[in-house]
């Protein structure tokens, strides 16, 4: 490492530049605290880095980055395409301040027809493709996947139950009764004929909807002709379901079978990237992204970086359509083709059906960004009014609200919701399983103390680990990790308990506290607010800040109850095999595959347990003793 502490940014970079090769590679610019400021790629490292050895000719953004640079790191690659892929990987890993960053790195759901079982299962899937079967997607939301699966069941009568549920059926379930499953589990349909239904569903999801409908119409007429009216009615309902799926798509295509469409729009110094998924000639939904990028950057520059990060860990379609032509479009196309091991075509169409689809995406981007900016203005005004009415030291950028949920102390959970200038920040939501065994059933004060203790103990450790100990620098994607305000659901008692708990931490940052208590008759709109200084506030019923604070409290309540219900449901269906010491995932799977269910395991004899693969004689005795104490 070069000794560069007394040199300016351009001088430091010039020292590195002298020794650089002329090959392709990736460079990182690093500040005095070791944080990565920027990741870039180059066909010629030596020539590219030379641009940073002077402030002259660079934008204000780049000049600030050069001035803050105290060291650099380099990785050589064989080709510029490899450098481009490595750059995207490093941007997602280090999240540098001066790069374009994806703020929402969500994964999109797929429809999976899993074929590992003799009777294929229809289900939704998200994440790694570790199951054998046919994947269709991505879809823009889980809601659209659920709706499509619901209609596919009506159209093709495919099962959506788990393999263990399937194995334990002795008579058809409700899905068969309401004509949403052909019930292969009990032989109501042969596996051969069920496989035909699976093939039809796959063909439909691959875009052969008209062919499938025509075949079903022929079968319906043939059934009616031979007076098999019951079967004809079933076929009629299936045709109706297929027609409903195709009618749901507001925009279908004639020539674009498979494509992702990216359109970017800039307004008010912010960017919106609207993404549309087209599969099987149909629109499978859209999603709006708001990447973090300097307002001085061109749309094409932001879009190029965004696309590469988007596909870094996702599959790509054969065609990618763009609203703007990119400076290095051919290079991006080549890099993605190498990464995905298939030919990918990237284009910015100027006419025809593809151009119409892109323009539709661009209009959606414009409208989405307009709505977001309008919401931000309203949200910022609410926060300023909140600070004014409650006489806060400053306008809060991060508000945290806590709540507990339990039934007589069982399955107790604490929940934290977070809000800021852009509304609710659901990525920052947290849940806390109440762990202390000394808490009396229903002791909300003790539960809240445990939650706050765990939350702020961890947060204080983050502050301690921060080298310059500046609270304002502790951020994630430009959003502070440290709260400016905590809203407490309760009265003076809860306010005093929370305040006393926070005082124990000797926190280096003042946190404002406001308690919100329901009115005398617990009427919505009659709330009273309490401050640590003894001040009591009652807001007018038409005051927007009152509605804002009510909304925060109700969101925390909703989130806490939802978390509690999920935990309770999980414990209710907990597999008893999980309680037996020595049984891991593989042995549990072996037992369930052999006996079909945990209930069947509990009834098994010791001799039968010993027959199971992976189950030793000692473990078989343990299992038998557990269920036969």
* Kind and range of the H or E run holding 342: none
- For the domain that residue 594 is a member of, what is the CATH number? 1.10.150.20
User: When comparing pLDDT for 509 and 331, which is higher?
Assistant: 331
At residue 440, the pLDDT reads 64
Rg of the chain's alpha carbons, rounded to an integer? 30
Tell me whether residue 393 is in a domain. no
Listing DSSP states for 446-471 in one string gives: HHHHHHHHHHHHHHHHHHHHSTT--G
Is residue 450 within 8 A of residue 434, CB to CB? The reply is yes
Asked if residue 591 and residue 550 are part of one domain, the reply reads no
Tell me whether residue 78 is in a domain. yes
For the stretch 201-247, pLDDT in tens is 888 888 776 677 777 788 788 878 787 777 777 778 777 766 666 55
- Tell me if the bond preceding 270 is cis, omega within 30° of 0: no
Tell me whether residue 264 is in a domain. yes
Q: Is the dihedral of CA 601, 607, 612, 614 positive or negative?
A: positive
Tell me whether residue 283 is in a domain. yes
- For the domain that residue 483 is a member of, what is the CATH number? 3.30.420.340
Which among 385, 379, 401 has a CA at the least distance from the CA of 554?
401
Q: CB count, 10 Å around CB of 515?
A: 25
Give the Cα separation of 299 and 458 in Å (integer). Answer: 39
Asked if residue 281 and residue 165 are part of one domain, the reply reads no
Domains identified in the chain, total number: 5
The backbone torsions φ and ψ at residue 104, rounded to the nearest 5 degrees and listed phi first, read -115, 95
> Quick one: pLDDT band at residue 322, thresholds 50, 70, 90?
very high
Listing DSSP states for 304-320 in one string gives: HHHHHHHGGGS---SEE
Q: Is residue 528 classed as helix, strand or coil in its secondary structure?
A: strand
Q: CB count, 10 Å around CB of 522?
A: 9
Q: Is residue 52 classed as helix, strand or coil in its secondary structure?
A: coil
Asked if residue 563 and residue 423 are part of one domain, the reply reads yes
User: When comparing pLDDT for 434 and 356, which is higher?
Assistant: 356
**Residue whose token pair is 């009777």:** 119
The separation between CA 557 and the C-alpha centre of its own chain, rounded to angstroms, equals: 22
Residues 280-292: what's their mean pLDDT?
88
> Quick one: pLDDT band at residue 3, thresholds 50, 70, 90?
very low
pTM more than 0.85: no
Give the structural domain span for 14: 9-94
Tell me whether residue 123 is in a domain. yes
Asked if residue 262 and residue 364 are part of one domain, the reply reads yes
Residues 490-494: what's their mean pLDDT?
85
pLDDT at position 410 over 80: no
Tell me whether residue 388 is in a domain. no
**Residue whose token pair is 């995932």:** 585
């Amino acid at each position: 490492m070069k000794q560069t502490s007394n040199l300016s940014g351009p001088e430091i970079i010039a020292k590195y530049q002298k020794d650089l090769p002329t090959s392709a590679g990736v460079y990182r610019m690093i500040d005095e605290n070791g944080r990565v400021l920027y990741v870039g790629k180059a066909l010629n490292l030596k020539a590219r880095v030379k641009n940073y050895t002077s402030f002259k000719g660079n934008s204000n953004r780049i000049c600030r980055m050069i001035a803050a640079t105290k060291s650099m790191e380099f990785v050589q690659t064989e080709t510029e395409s490899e450098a481009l892929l490595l750059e995207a990987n490093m941007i997602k890993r280090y999240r540098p301040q001066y790069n374009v960053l994806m703020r929402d790195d969500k994964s999109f759901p797929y429809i999976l027809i899993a074929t590992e079982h003799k009777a294929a299962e229809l289900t939704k899937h998200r994440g790694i493709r570790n199951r054998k079967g046919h994947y269709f997607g991505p879809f823009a939301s889980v809601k659209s996947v659920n709706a499509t699966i619901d209609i596919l069941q009506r159209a093709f009568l495919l099962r959506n139950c788990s393999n263990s549920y399937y194995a334990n059926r002795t008579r058809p379930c409700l899905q068969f009764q309401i004509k949403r499953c052909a019930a292969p589990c009990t032989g109501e349909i042969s596996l051969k004929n069920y496989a035909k239904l699976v093939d039809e569903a796959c063909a439909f999801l691959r875009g052969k909807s008209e062919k499938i409908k025509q075949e079903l119409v022929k079968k319906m007429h043939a059934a009616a002709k031979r007076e098999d009216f019951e079967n004809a009615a079933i076929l009629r309902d299936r045709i109706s379901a297929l027609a409903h799926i195709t009618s749901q798509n507001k925009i279908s295509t004639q020539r674009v079978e498979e494509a992702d469409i990216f359109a970017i729009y800039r307004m008010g110094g912010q960017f919106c990237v609207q993404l549309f998924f087209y599969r099987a000639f149909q629109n499978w939904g859209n999603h709006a992204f708001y990447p973090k990028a300097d307002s001085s950057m061109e749309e094409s520059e932001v879009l190029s970086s965004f696309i590469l990060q988007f596909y870094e860990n996702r599959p790509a379609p054969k065609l990618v359509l763009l609203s703007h032509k990119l400076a290095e479009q051919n290079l991006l196309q080549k890099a993605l083709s190498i990464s995905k091991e298939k030919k990918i075509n990237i284009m910015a169409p100027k006419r025809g059906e593809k151009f119409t689809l892109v323009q539709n995406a661009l209009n959606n981007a414009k409208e989405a960004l307009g709505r977001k900016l309008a919401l931000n203005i309203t949200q910022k005004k609410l926060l300023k009014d909140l600070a004014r009415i409650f006489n806060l030291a400053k306008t809060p950028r991060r508000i945290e609200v806590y709540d507990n949920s339990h039934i007589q102390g069982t399955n107790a959970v604490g929940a934290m919701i977070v809000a800021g200038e852009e509304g609710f920040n659901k990525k920052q939501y947290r849940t806390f399983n109440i762990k202390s065994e000394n808490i009396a059933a229903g002791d909300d004060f003790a539960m809240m103390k445990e939650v706050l203790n765990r939350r702020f103990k961890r947060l204080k450790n983050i502050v301690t680990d921060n080298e310059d100990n500046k609270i304002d620098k502790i951020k994630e994607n430009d959003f502070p990790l440290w709260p400016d305000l905590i809203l407490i659901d309760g009265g003076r008692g809860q306010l005093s308990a929370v305040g006393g708990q926070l005082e124990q931490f000797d926190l280096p940052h003042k946190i404002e506290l406001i308690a919100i208590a329901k009115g005398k008759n617990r009427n919505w709109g009659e709330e009273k607010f309490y401050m640590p200084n003894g001040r009591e506030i009652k807001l007018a019923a038409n005051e927007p800040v009152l509605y804002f604070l009510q909304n925060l409290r109700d969101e925390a309540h909703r989130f806490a109850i939802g978390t509690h219900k999920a935990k309770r449901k999980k414990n209710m269906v907990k597999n008893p095999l999980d309680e037996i010491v020595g049984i891991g995932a593989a042995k549990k799977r072996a037992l369930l595959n052999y006996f079909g269910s945990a209930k069947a395991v509990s009834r098994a004899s010791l001799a039968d347990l010993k027959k199971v693969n992976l189950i030793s004689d000692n473990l078989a005795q343990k299992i038998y003793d557990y269920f036969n104490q």
